[in-house]
Amino acid sequence: MPFLTDFLYLYGSITNLIIINCLLALSAYVNFSSGQFSVAAPGFMAIGAYTASLLTLNAQWPFVAVLAAAVLLAAVVALLFGLPILKLQGVYLAMATLGFVEVIQNLAINLQLTGGAMGLMGIPVKTQTWHLALTLAVFVYLLWVMGQSRLGAGLRAIRQDWQLARVLGVHLHRYNVIAFVISAAMAGLAGALAAHTNNAVVPGDFGFTLVIAVLSFSIVGGVERLWGPLLGALLLSILPEVARPLQEYRLIFTGLLLLVVILFLRRGLAGLVEDSWRSLK
């Protein structure tokens, strides 16, 4: 497939970036679609990235084992942190998860183990684009299956009306924790894969900027449909590349986009597309 290989040669790194952003967007989707205002994804991505990098660099584990370890550690941390913290809701949960991201980032910057502010370098590039694409496909399938399942129905119910859901027998806390752990595992895997794409892992990548980016994917894309955050991730990853001359206005543009969407397009672009489609029929 010469076209594909040429394309990937030229645009490989941006394709990787887009897919990684899509993975993160899906991780956040699990939270938002169940009404959890959690912004913890960058923190779990960091955990996954550092775990994977350290195991590759210091213990020379095979790639698959490294990925598995990253997912596992992220899930365990999510379980331990999630059990107490998911008793909170709304703004309080948002702040707690924001605090979590900051704590993780701070630890990454300050611990010797994680290479301090410079991070870890010299990580062999093991991730191929097809790995990322496969993971994305697996995530989408997983989430689709989850959506059809009892867990998915329960999470949807929680998002729409948690009090009613509880009355109808949905075990709120358990479902919330499960969603949180799944989302963390996804973010951890994304982080592990990303770490092996770029040779280096830097703590600065896992802070407030990434929190805003992941949030933007979901807001702009819309969280009612599975493909909403994907659309958001795709758009917001491509835009800076396509609109290179406007680099300096990137922040302003992102802010304005978010503002417009939240004020006028509550269901995001996915909602807009759906509505247009419906009115065309």
Which H helix or E strand runs over 214? Answer: helix 208-221
Q: State how far the Cα of 217 lies from the Cα of 268, in Å rounded to an integer.
A: 10
CB atoms within 10 A of CB 106: 12
Min separation Cβ 262 and other proteins, Å: 5
- Which residue, 84 or 122, has its beta carbon nearer to other proteins? 84
Binding site for other proteins (CB under 8 A): 37, 84-85, 88-92, 94-96, 98-100, 102-103, 106-107, 110, 208, 212, 215, 219, 248-259, 262-263, 266
Minimum Å distance from CB 270 to other proteins?
16
Closer residue to other proteins in complex, CB, 35/126: 35
Give least dist CB 146 to other proteins, A. 23
- Neighbour count for residue 113 (Cβ, 10 Å): 12
| Cα–Cα separations (whole angstroms), residue 257 to 122, 135, 212, 250 | 37, 29, 13, 10
- When the beta carbons of 133 and 235 are compared against other proteins, the nearer one is 235
Query: Rounded to 5 degrees, what are φ and ψ at 201?
Result: -125, 120
Question: Please, what is the minimum distance in Å from the beta carbon of residue 69 to other proteins?
Answer: 25
Indicate the residue among 69 and 214 with the shorter CB distance to other proteins.
Answer: 214
Q: Please name every residue paired with 201 in a beta bridge, in sequence order, or none if there are none.
A: 120
Q: Alpha-carbon distance 236 to 25, whole Å? A: 11
Give 56 or 97: the residue with its C-beta nearer to other proteins: 97
Q: How far is the CB of 64 from other proteins (least distance, A)?
A: 34
The tokens of 159 are what?
A: 């998002």
> What is the distance between the alpha carbons of residues 89 and 14, in angstroms, rounded to a whole number?
36
